[in-house]
Amino acid sequence: MNDVQIKIASVDTLAHLLEPQDAPIILLSRREIEAGLIGDALARLMVFSDTPENIRQFEGTMRLAVSGYDDDPRELHQIPEVVRFVRTLTEQWPYWFHFMVRDEMGLPIPMMLLVDLEVSHTREGQVFVHVNDEDIRALMFRLFDGMNHIQQFAGMTGHETIRSTDAVMEAVNLFMS
């Protein structure tokens, strides 16, 4: 059985602590979200996208988490300050598709915060939403553009880019179904 080791790092030490086997979790705190200051979060994300080696190493490994809202009954996409923060952050760092884990819990968090979702109904504690097709299409174009840009910067081949695109599309399809 593998031991899980959790490393908590500031932006100053993050780059020195990263190892090839790491699965980073980017934690956004309620304090920074409510202050609306994206600088620290952006600096943490930039560590992953600053070098071709990190771009390759951390493809599909990152998770996004938000802390401080555990007692809030709303879903994250219903909390305006969380939505505003992630959207502002994404204007500067549109690379979620490249770095996020490509499963039912990886891509949906940023995607749900980057489009306007309309709650259609709730049932047994689950919230069901509707999203405008044009909004999701525009978001996907923007995030794929970011992914293509970062992969080009890293010198990834056409085959690698196609593999990444297929993996993201599979995860998006799971999310949308």
Q: What is the pLDDT of residues 109-161, one digit of tens each?
A: 888 899 888 777 777 766 677 777 888 889 999 999 999 999 999 999 999 99
Q: Which residues are CB-contacts of 172 (< 8 A; sequence separation ≥ 6)?
A: 107, 111, 140
Q: Specify whether the CB–CB gap between 84 and 116 falls below 8 A.
A: no
pLDDT in tens, 49-89: 999 999 999 999 998 999 999 999 988 988 999 999 999 99
Token pair 């499963």 is found at 103
Number of C-beta neighbours around residue 54 at 10 A = 17
